[in-house]
Amino acid sequence: MTSSNLIFKQYYLGCLSQASYLIGDRSTGRAVVVDPLRDIEQYLADAREMGLTIEAVFETHFHADFLSGHLELAKATGAQIVYGAAAADRVGFPIRAMHDGEHLSLGGVDLEVLSTPGHTPESICIVVREDVPNGVPYGVLTGDTLFIGDVGRPDLLSSVGVTANDLGRQLYTSLHDKLMVLPDATKVYPAHGAGSACGKNLSTETVSTIGEQRRTNYALAPMSVEAFVEAVTQGQSAAPMYFMFAANRNREAHDLLPNDVTVASLTMEELLARMDDGAVVIDTREGADFALGHVRGSINVGLSGRFAEYVGQVVKPGTPIVLIGDEGTSREATIRLARIGFDTVVGALESPLASFLRRQDVIEQSSRLTFDSFAERIASVREVVTVDVRNPGEVELGTVPGSRNIPIAQLFDRVEELDRGAPIVVFCAGGYRSMIAASLLRSKGFTDVSDVIGGYGAWADKNLPTTLPAISVDDLAAKRDSFVVVDVREDDEWEQGHLEGSLHIPMANLPARRGEIPTAGRIACLCRSGNRSAKVTAWLLANGFDACNVTGGTLAWDERGFPFVIGAQA
């Protein structure tokens, strides 16, 4: 992107939802890079092509989701590394610490640093102007302070004694006193987009304006600071296990990413020896291919997804890693892991298919369930444990009744909460994360683990009554005294009309109120149409109750003219 002397280019990496920037002045040839990746050739190549000299590398904060390329760029170009002043005493390499309101001129292009603590204490934003330091802003690079549709989460540092409440209050001030005072036409360039764990509601768009965010961003709506802190902290995803590691590494002097990344080829015997010595085998193939055959004890993290991020959620930093994947993919996988600071790839299996055929004694298959087989499993195997590895915000929108929510980012540390001898079914939204989770559990000694093809999306899209014990409203009316009716509708639905003598427990409250459900006698689950009650029926069956679903629900009951009780009391 160009405007008179200004050269401005955004680089966006979808697999990490990460944005970096090259800003230059055409008239002087001076340039800076903001929040770079470790593989820096793209910045160097563009600078050469545009006749620019990279003089500074700006970091908007100590990134937790990736290992930045500031050291690599400084080594390659001689550029100084720039942080906000609050970072001055917290780094292990030379930096220029810029204070709030301080400017760096590239000639006809001016950069102003704004101190914007909140996501982290040292966070800064960078206002880009042309011609004069007090001119109309072209744009503002907002780092993790302001996203498109969201703001940076203030809770990531709670484990080191910096409270989400304190940072949230600072974030509120930074947004309103530093960013929202900029003209509405000022372009907003964030450090991340949709999919990043640094926020919960990020847009797929990578550029906006201050005015658009003022109008549409939920976190910028008029509210008190207390309401703001509550709004931006609730519903956040579990922080990936590697985040603190990456944040600390970004503050330290560390080995640089080699210019030419190479990966050693390993025989199957060498791979197995590495495993015996503590290496983790990451199989980067698609889940369906992994399920058909893989090295026993390996973990499947598909390269086509958010590969590095999820490896960082199931492998401890510093662990030696061996790769298995399609031919020609090991270098790409190694670079992606290096982007989060995982520089411990020790090799990749040579000729995987031939190696599998030659050593079938170490190859096994995975159990994967279709929606129908999943429904059958939870309806017929009472001791089955269902584990939802989605994030809390996803679970709030619905889950399979009776499931335990252990976000995949926490599964590694919480694996001992599960019984290795129990049959376990793992699901996520669509199947990618559940395949990772299921393979992780098997690598930890769990013997009966399945994942659900299509995940909760398949569950939610299907109608369960055809696969579960059911009773019609006519039969229920005729045998009313033989059933305990559990009405799982919401309070307002219940008050509009319910069956006399029924037990009212809204679906979302069932796990907490399980003790109120009689263990003797048969239970008839009732909702408005039969959909919610079908899921509750499955949950009750999986937890040892004798339950059936009332097909058609209260709608069918009303159509038959059967009596209702109106009001809050039965």
Residue 464 has pLDDT above 60, yes or no: no
Q: So what's the pLDDT on residue 567? A: 66
- Lowest mean pLDDT segment, chosen from 107-111, 114-118, 334-338, 377-381: 377-381
Residues 212 and 325 in one domain: no
DSSP codes, 261-286: ----EE-HHHHHHHHHTTPEEEE-S-
Residues 446 and 414 in one domain: yes
Residues 127 and 34 in one domain: yes
- Output the average pLDDT for the chain: 91
pLDDT tens sequence across 114-139? 999 999 999 999 999 997 777 899 99
Give the separation between CA 282 and CA 279, rounded to whole angstroms.
10
Give the separation between CA 570 and CA 566, rounded to whole angstroms.
8
- Lowest mean pLDDT segment, chosen from 159-168, 207-216, 307-316, 322-331: 159-168
Q: So what's the pLDDT on residue 510? A: 75
The parent domain of residue 520 ranges over 465-559
Q: Is residue 252 part of a domain?
A: no
Confidence category of residue 235, pLDDT binned at 50, 70, 90: confident
Instruction: Tell which of 308, 331, 363 closes a domain.
Output: 363
Intra-chain end-to-end CA distance of the chain, in Å: 67
Residue 315 has pLDDT above 90, yes or no: yes
Residue 479 has pLDDT above 50, yes or no: yes
Give the separation between CA 166 and CA 86, rounded to whole angstroms.
16
Give the separation between CA 532 and CA 512, rounded to whole angstroms.
17
Q: So what's the pLDDT on residue 463? A: 43
Residues 33 and 53 in one domain: yes
Q: What is the pTM of this model?
A: 0.78
Residues 124 and 227 in one domain: yes
Question: Who's near 29: CB < 8 A, 6+ residues apart?
Answer: 51, 52, 53
Give the separation between CA 434 and CA 427, rounded to whole angstroms.
5
Q: Is residue 253 part of a domain?
A: no
Residues 106 and 182 in one domain: yes
Confidence category of residue 342, pLDDT binned at 50, 70, 90: very high
Residues 46 and 153 in one domain: yes
- Give the residue among 189, 236, 193, 178 at the shortest CA–CA distance from 212: 189
Can you read off the two tokens belonging to residue 125?
A: 């934003």
Q: How many domains is the chain partitioned into structurally?
A: 4
Q: What is the mean pLDDT of residues 488-517?
A: 82
Residues 268 and 314 in one domain: yes
Residue 465 has pLDDT above 50, yes or no: no
Q: Is residue 565 part of a domain?
A: no
**Burial grade of 280 (CB within 10 A; 0-12, 13-18, 19 or more):** buried
- Lowest mean pLDDT segment, chosen from 215-219, 329-333, 377-381, 521-525: 377-381
HSE at residue 393, side-chain half, CA atoms within 13 A, is 13
Q: What is the mean pLDDT of residues 507-516?
A: 72
pLDDT tens sequence across 395-405? 876 788 889 99
Residue 294 has pLDDT above 70, yes or no: yes
Between these two residues, 544 and 424, which has the higher pLDDT value?
424
Residues 483 and 532 in one domain: yes
Q: What is the mean pLDDT of residues 369-390?
A: 88
Instruction: Tell which of 333, 363, 393 closes a domain.
Output: 363
Q: So what's the pLDDT on residue 117? A: 96
- Lowest mean pLDDT segment, chosen from 291-295, 495-499, 555-559: 495-499
Q: So what's the pLDDT on residue 239? A: 83
Q: So what's the pLDDT on residue 98? A: 97
Q: Do 530 and 549 form a contact (C-beta atoms < 8 A)?
A: yes
Quote the percentage of the chain above a pLDDT of 90.
73
Q: What is the mean pLDDT of residues 150-158?
A: 87
pLDDT tens sequence across 160-188? 678 889 999 999 999 999 999 999 999 99
From residue 147, give the alpha-carbon distance in Å to each of 220, 243, 543.
Answer: 11, 19, 43
Q: Could you tell me where the beta strands, DSSP code E, fall in 60-117? A: 80-84, 96-98, 103-105, 109-115
Residues 326 and 204 in one domain: no
Residue 476 has pLDDT above 90, yes or no: yes
Give the separation between CA 360 and CA 430, rounded to whole angstroms.
30
Instruction: Tell which of 363, 381, 405 closes a domain.
Output: 363
Can you read off the two tokens belonging to residue 522?
A: 């048969």
Q: Is residue 471 part of a domain?
A: yes
- Domain CATH for 213: 3.60.15.10
- Lowest mean pLDDT segment, chosen from 60-64, 361-365, 515-519: 515-519
Q: Do 22 and 11 form a contact (C-beta atoms < 8 A)?
A: yes
Q: Is residue 568 part of a domain?
A: no
Residue 51 has pLDDT above 80, yes or no: yes
Q: So what's the pLDDT on residue 135? A: 84
Residue 2 has pLDDT above 50, yes or no: no
Q: What is the mean pLDDT of residues 283-308?
A: 96
- Give the residue among 310, 319, 309, 313 at the shortest CA–CA distance from 343: 319
- Lowest mean pLDDT segment, chosen from 249-258, 343-352, 494-503: 494-503
Q: So what's the pLDDT on residue 159? A: 59
Residues 37 and 102 in one domain: yes
- Domain CATH for 488: 3.40.250.10
Residues 330 and 396 in one domain: no
